[in-house]
Amino acid sequence: MNRSIPRDIGSYPFDLIIVGAGINGAGIARDAAMRGLRVLLLDKGDISDGTTQWSTRLIHGGLRYLEYYEFGLVRESLREREILLHIAPHLVRPLGFMVPVYERSKRGPRTIRLGMIAYDALSFDKSLPNHRMFSAREALEREPGLNPDGLLGAAFYYDAQAEYAERLAVENAVSAARHGALVLTYAKVERLLHESGGVAGVEFTDLLGGGRYTARAPVTVNVAGPWVDEVLSGAGYRGPRLIGGTKGSHIVVDPFPGAPREEALYVEARRDGRPYFIVPWNGRYLIGTTDLRYEGDLDRVEASEEEIEYLLDETNHVIPRASLSREDVLFTYSGVRPLPYQPEGAEGSITRRHIIHDHARDERPTDGLISIVGGKLTTYRNLARETVDLVYEKLRLPDPGCKTARIPLPGGLTDDFDSFAAAFKATSGLSETLSERLLRVYGTRAPEVLAYAGEDPSLRMPLSPRTSQPTGLIGAEVLYAFEREMAQTLSDLLLRRSMAGMGPRVALDVDEAAAEVAQRYLGWSPDRAKEEVRRYREFVRRYHPRDFRRHKTLKA
């Protein structure tokens, strides 16, 4: 899938232009293309390199939304959770959650139990088991690391985890392209085109090859996440501010004493009563998130030392044997939720329900423009369905109907993923660890990745040196990312295709080796390889990786 901008793009009759290739934009593109629309998907960066890659990586019904009586949102989320378990079995898996209840908790055992009953009732069509309630003794038998002081009991229930949320967006974009959509990353929309009293398309800059282009369509969807208002500013928008994002930060640590065994902990912070998670993730633990109003630079969001200390302190309290320190933090990540603008009130009270804002209904002359506000990773598919339904209404075309609930994502195309995985492991010729990693990242496309090794055994070998925590990236993945999954940069490959950048060393042990593979097989010059490594290392500084703290000579 080599990236190229058609010379006649300005005269091509697109039906729909989508600005923003996060999970929502990629989901809209897939749905629209599968229904037969002519789609252009644009992003100023890479697929999923905004809010999508900064999430807590959970596919959940939103248990805490019950507190704000958002029953419709919970029901929608639980229904979508079930769909994602079936269309993306390689990326979305069931995960148990324990909710310890303490004497200090704002929500006592009775309130938690009522919430659990409501949660089960709203997920009446689920494939996952119902909740269970534990006494304090039973909770400690199951999770002996919990702080016993004031423990009244615990609830246990199931939701799901999207270990690699980035891959969900990438596979939606790949599927959209397979169905005819034109996907252009590193294409920054500079302004919206106004013609005949409405928005008739966009003008964008090619940030890689240079040049400025126009593209036209009767409908443009602005799904730029936290940048929605920025896109609108290029259209002379005079309406109210739409986005009032809040910042969420996470820390990643190695397994530690007292950590939950195979389930996540859903804990109420003692400092401020906010819920946060301690989640087994990618062989380690993901702890987060914070929820703070944010007005800073959207293109460089970092976890503050105060947030890091907050998450460490809360974890050490609920699991006293953890004794986590700043040195134990492998890396952090932080992003901004594109929530509706709400200048006052608690951050947690801001609705997580998405809003499909049809500008023609509120501000004129802006017919042909739709902006998406909010939304959750869990409900992206339904948001896409509702958006494309509205697009068809605006186009006045017969709607063939949404198919995305039935047709799996590219890596989930099998009736029995477990059997497929077993067969791949038996025939791949790779170690169990490498086979398992390819299946977790690429699903049923893992054999396609391995096929890029051809007769070259070096492309089947891990690129990282033999360390205590090696990154399992193999050379074939480098070729696959650029040839089949629209990667354009080393950062795209490491952070959003192979997921090597989410390993314990944020791929600082394989970045140079991956660039060397690209130089050898993809025609990169030595200067480009060196520059790609420099840019990657400069980017991941915002993660505060431990490698940079320990190895002062490691250059960006």
Nearest to 502 by CA among 458, 460, 469, 462: 469
> Do residues 248 and 135 share a domain?
yes
> Do residues 477 and 534 share a domain?
yes
Alpha-carbon gap, residue 349 to 65, rounded angstroms: 9
Beta bridge partners of 40: 17, 182
Position 4 confidence tier, pLDDT thresholds 50, 70, 90: confident
| H-assigned helices in 143-189 | 165-178
Domain tally, the chain: 3
Residue 322 lies in a domain: yes
Does 1 score more than 80 pLDDT? no
> Do residues 146 and 270 share a domain?
yes
Q: Given this model, what pLDDT does residue 2 score?
A: 66
> Do residues 335 and 223 share a domain?
no
Q: Given this model, what pLDDT does residue 528 score?
A: 98
> Do residues 282 and 383 share a domain?
no
Residue 404 lies in a domain: no
Residue found under tokens 């959940």: 60
> Do residues 359 and 343 share a domain?
no
Residue 185 lies in a domain: yes
Cβ contacts of residue 14 below 8 Å, gap of 6+?
38, 39, 40, 201, 215, 216, 217
> Do residues 539 and 499 share a domain?
yes
Q: Given this model, what pLDDT does residue 348 score?
A: 54
Amino acid at 114: L
More confident residue, 262 or 248: 248
DSSP category for residue 3 = -
Q: State the SS3 of 538-549.
A: HHHHHHCCHHHH
Q: Given this model, what pLDDT does residue 181 score?
A: 98
Query: Which two structure tokens, joined as six digits, stand for 19?
Result: 């600005």
Residue 410 lies in a domain: no
> Do residues 73 and 207 share a domain?
no
CA distances from 541 to 331, 346, 380, 555 (A): 10, 31, 30, 11
Range of the domain at 200: 9-51+166-243+352-395
Residue 555 lies in a domain: no
Position 344 confidence tier, pLDDT thresholds 50, 70, 90: low
> Do residues 108 and 220 share a domain?
no
Q: Given this model, what pLDDT does residue 345 score?
A: 60
Maximal C-alpha separation, the chain: 70
> Do residues 40 and 154 share a domain?
no
> Do residues 368 and 274 share a domain?
no
329, 364, 395 - which closes a domain: 395
**CATH code at position 213:** 3.50.50.60
**pTM for the whole thing?**
0.95
Residue 209 lies in a domain: yes
Task: Read off the pLDDT of each residue in 57-81 and give the average, rounded to a whole number.
Answer: 89
> Do residues 342 and 356 share a domain?
no
**CATH code at position 126:** 3.30.9.10
Residue 271 lies in a domain: yes
pLDDT in tens, 417-468: 999 999 999 999 999 999 999 999 999 999 999 999 999 999 999 998 765 5
Residue 443 lies in a domain: no
pLDDT in tens, 83-140: 999 999 999 999 999 999 999 888 888 889 999 999 999 988 889 999 999 999 999 9
pLDDT in tens, 463-495: 987 655 667 899 999 999 999 999 999 999 999
